[in-house]
Every structure is written in C-alpha cells, then in structure tokens.
Structure 1
C-alpha cells in the first residue's frame, strides 16, 4: 500500500488514479500510523512552500516523513512535494524544508523575457540511470512551477532547460523527487510512476535496484 500524504496542498486524486492505472493500491492519508506502515510514500504539492510546511507541521507529519525516509522506504515528492524534500526555500522568505536531499529552492531567474511560471511540456535530459529515468532521454513531461531546486549534480537524475538547467528528477538513496507532474504527463508520466513502483517492489523484496 502506498500512502499519498494529505495536507490540503496536493493534486492527490489525480495521483491516486494514475497509481491505480499502473496497479499500485494507495490511500490518501494524514494518519502518522498509516504513513509509517506504508510500503512507500508520495508527497504531492501545489502552491507555496511556506504554507505547505506550515500545514505539514500543523498535522504533525514532519517527523513521520523523516522516520520513513530514515527507514529506507521509498519516497517520491511531486512538484512542490519535491521542493519540500530540500533544506530550505527562498519563497516568501527563508523557510526550512524536510532536509532529505541537500539543497535550496530558488526562484527561476528571468531569461529572454520567458514567462514565469514555467508552464508546459519540456524535454528531459538524463544524468543518472535510475528506475525512474530509464528510457526517458528526450521525452517530454508537463511542468508548472516558478521555483527550482538548486542542488549538487550528484543528486540530479534528470533535468530540463528553461533559461537555466532545471533539475527535473532528483534522487538520494530511497528519496526521489519529480519537479513536473507525472500524473499530467500522459504515458511518460505513467512510465515514471511505474519506475517508482519498481523501486517499491525491489525494496519490499530486498532486491538491489
């Protein structure tokens, strides 16, 4: 069972439908007991970093999320949920994140009058081969965001270009993040979620990835 974290800032129903399509059962929950018992977690997110962290704290979900990460169970952050995995964000003043992947969240800088937020389909460039990035070189996924994750190259599994290099998939051990929306990215998005399913399956059976 996959726990989709419910904190009123995520596209939870669409993610649940996408998981069901690839054969992953899930529940939308804010219950720490259910979260810690799950085989893996998805942390969705739409909106502002500061508000999201305040809501996670209000629901006493920060420690359970960190405990699951420490246990080695797979976690996938989506869009804002990916940004929350980092140390801090500059959005609306400095706000501490979950600290599961080193780095900071910064506003996308202006470049040649490009529009902010970055919205639409953009091509992936693969930096590291993982179950989530296999076969994705040159494929398009759907982005909606104004901020990006500034992290070291060792944690960047895939990127896209929007004036600057924007990390699209980040990865540290059992923790993954997708800046785009897999649930809105058609067959490619489903392929990425299927890769996360593979990570969960390998972890639950103690196989190497």
Structure 2
C-alpha cells in the first residue's frame, strides 16, 4: 500500500492566522468547560494547575515531534503517513482508523454535553425538543443554501429580471443555451 503521493506538489499557503485559528479550534471544546469543573472539585486549584501543566508538556512534546517529522519529510497527508512509513502500513492504517474513531466518539460526547447544557439552562424543556429544533434548523439551512445556489445560477445565466446578462446576446453556440430556461433539461437528455 503506497501512502505517499509522489506527484502531488505541496501548497504552502497557510498563514499565521490560519494556524492560530486551527489551534484555538482544537483546544477550545466541550471537554475544557465540562471537565475543568470536575477536576477543580476533586483535586483543587493546585492539582488542576499541575494536571494541566503535565498535559501541556506531553502535548508540546508530541507537537515538537510532529513538527520535526513534517520538516524532515514534507508529505501530503496526516500523521498516519509517518506511522505507515516508519512502522509499517498496518500501523498507519490502524492509526488512521483510531483517529477517525476518536473524533466520532468526540462528536457523540459533544452532543451529550449539549444535552446537559440544555437541561441546565432550560430544565422544563425536554432534550428531544432541542434536537428537533436543531434538526429543523439544519434542513432549513440546507434548503436556503440550495435556493442561494439556484439563484446564483439564474443570475449568471441572465434569467434574473433585475440583472443584465453576463454575455453578449449575439453570442452563439453554448452561450446561446444559457438564455433559455430549459437548458438543463435538454442537456440532460
């Protein structure tokens, strides 16, 4: 199993602001808010600070190692590529699936934490009501996005009454096709 792509050029387009937002998005989550209160209540302030310092040291060492690997071998792919290269393809495959499983479980724990928050702030409202509201919001967002895309196609095709066409009316060929409302149906046949 070949995990590296030899012909894929690297695109070094990330800026400092991208890295800062990625790191903040990876750090701030439900675990930071829900677990900190539990840790403070069981170990106290000094124990919490010590636990977070030890955790930060471990994360810093892992990030240093990954940074060294990515500088030494700039390849496309995630960190499972390094595991596959140095420890074998089976290890890389396992690391990739375990990473996926970690984020799948994290998604479930985020939903559970959202249910806890809803029960805390709105104790009289059942959690399933919030889930239905969220589901309806998701579907309305999908519908409005599709409507936005359709409107964009109509504007580009010149079918909107408020905008001028983006091409000359005497153009022929495929450009002529866009001036008709049924161009998609005829092209699909």
Q: TM-score, normalised by structure 1?
A: 0.23
Q: Which has the higher helix share?
A: 2
Larger Rg: 2
Q: TM-score, normalised by structure 2?
A: 0.24
